[in-house]
Amino acid sequence: MPKISEKALHMPASPIRKLVPFAEAAKSKGVKIYHLNIGQPDIETPQVMLDAVRNFSPKVVEYSHSAGMESYRKKLSGYYRKHGIDINHEQILVTCGGSEAIEIAMMSCLNGGDEILIPEPFYANYNGFSCQADVVVKPIKSVIENGFALPPIAEFEKLITPKTKAIMICNPGNPTGYLYSKEELELLKDLVLKYDLFLFSDEVYKEFCYDGAAYTSVMHLNGADNNIILLDSISKRYSACGARIGALITKNAQVMQAALKFAQARLSPPTFGQVGAEAAIDTPQSYFDEVNKEYTTRRNFLVEALNKMPGVFCPMPKGAFYCIARLPIDDADKFCQWLLESFSFENQTVMLAPATGFYSTPNSGKNEVRIAYVLNLDALKHAMTCLEKALEAYNKQ
């Protein structure tokens, strides 16, 4: 039988989804599962977006421009200008979700074997995107004790070699919920200028900043336009994960020309998704205010409930809708599987994501889990009761 590729062998499976078979088995037994393992919001998609897709009735669903519909890109540039990001539509490449934006950025800017520095824990699929692009991830560990703040710049400099071509961050962060300050971003800007590196910034959660905390984009930084690439998506902003519309944004014309060639190779982003995304820009501010209020309530309850449990520590996230909690357990992978295979309380259990999958450094995050607070408050209360009972039972084994 022919062998599959080496790349396929090394392509990591999703640590967020690897427990799905165990969840399905538990559900087949009638166990109710509270899904806190994946960032699928239960917030309703804006009506203006849904209406636009319903009312779109062309005679032929044509390819769009490979960079995305011009009308959408022009309207999108106006959206960014409202957020203090001064760009035009030619500096935007519409992609098939934020995932493709990251893939194209890596392939446009890095050669096979080049290195990218990423503070860990980080979104697990960065490993997959890097594998596809033959890029080597060099992780720099952030720590739960200070809420996963940016590691010292000296730690970045220790890892910089002639092969280092980029630094990547997620702001606000998945899986940590950490929100980088302007001061931290300025330090990164100085670093990429010093070593002539690219700075990739995944900012898909920028609408989700709490407690009045200010959002600073890498595009707000001065003097590094040719180094900076912004990666974005509508998935979380409008609770439209299935629309698969993202964006790669840069003022570096050479990068944009290269990115367009990769975009041409996949022809065009989804037509219906772009129609919906263009209309979604008209979503009223009241929608985001209500969503922010709802997530703040969920976050406050969740973090307080976790920190009341014996032996549990969870820092307060300032953005996104995730947190990482340290639990009194020996092995997060084993515990999360046990929750689905062997535990239930009142015929209910909870599904979590082991934090091990968000680290590149072996044996990191062994007693940590990522929790997505994407369920309503009542469901979160039941989920936290299940988790507390589970920890008691697990540690009595």
Domain boundaries, the chain: 6-44+286-394, 47-280
Torsion, Cα of 179, 180, 183, 186 (10° steps)? -150
pLDDT digits (tens, 9 = 90+) for 286-324: 999 999 999 999 999 999 999 999 999 999 999 999 999
Residue 196's pLDDT is what? 98
Nearest to 365 by CA among 319, 333, 320: 333
Any idea what DSSP says for residue 171? S
Report pLDDT digits (tens) over 168-212.
Answer: 999 999 999 999 999 999 999 999 999 999 999 999 999 999 999
**Is 17 a residue whose pLDDT tops 80?**
no
**Those residues with Cβ within 8 angstroms of residue 178's Cβ, 6 or more apart along the chain or in another chain:** 142, 147, 148, 149, 172, 317, 318, 319
Rg (CA), the chain: 21
Q: Which two tokens stand for residue 288?
A: 């985001």
Name the one residue in this structure whose structure tokens are 């609408």: 207
Q: Indicate if the pLDDT at residue 16 is higher than 80.
A: no
**E-strand stretches of the chain:** 32-35, 92-95, 115-120, 136-141, 164-170, 198-202, 228-233, 246-249, 322-326, 348-351, 353-354, 368-372
At position 360, the amino acid (one-letter code) is S
pLDDT band for position 12 (cuts 50, 70, 90): confident
% of the chain exceeding 70 in pLDDT: 100
238 neighbors 273 (Cβ within 8 angstroms): no
Tell me the CA distances in angstroms from 334 to 58, 204, 266, one per residue in order: 51, 31, 40
What are the pLDDT digits (tens) for 67-118? 999 999 999 999 999 999 999 999 999 999 999 999 999 999 999 999 999 9
If 0-12 CB within 10 Å is exposed, 13-18 middle and 19+ buried, where does residue 297 land? middle
Residues 6+ apart with CB under 8 A from 367: 326, 327, 328, 329, 330, 331, 332
Task: Say which CATH topology domain 47-280 has.
Answer: Aspartate Aminotransferase; domain 2 (3.40.640)
Round to whole Å and give the CA distance between 82 and 90.
17
**pLDDT confidence bin for 371, thresholds 50/70/90:** very high
Domain 6-44+286-394, CATH class in plain words: alpha beta
Q: Where are the beta strands (DSSP E) in 227-386?
A: 228-233, 246-249, 322-326, 348-351, 353-354, 368-372
Predicted TM-score (pTM) of the model is: 0.96
Within 13 Å, how many C-alpha atoms sit on residue 145's CB side?
A: 2
**CA 388/CA 392 separation, integer angstroms:** 6
**Is pLDDT of 220 > 90?**
yes
Query: Per-residue pLDDT for 236 more than 80?
Result: yes
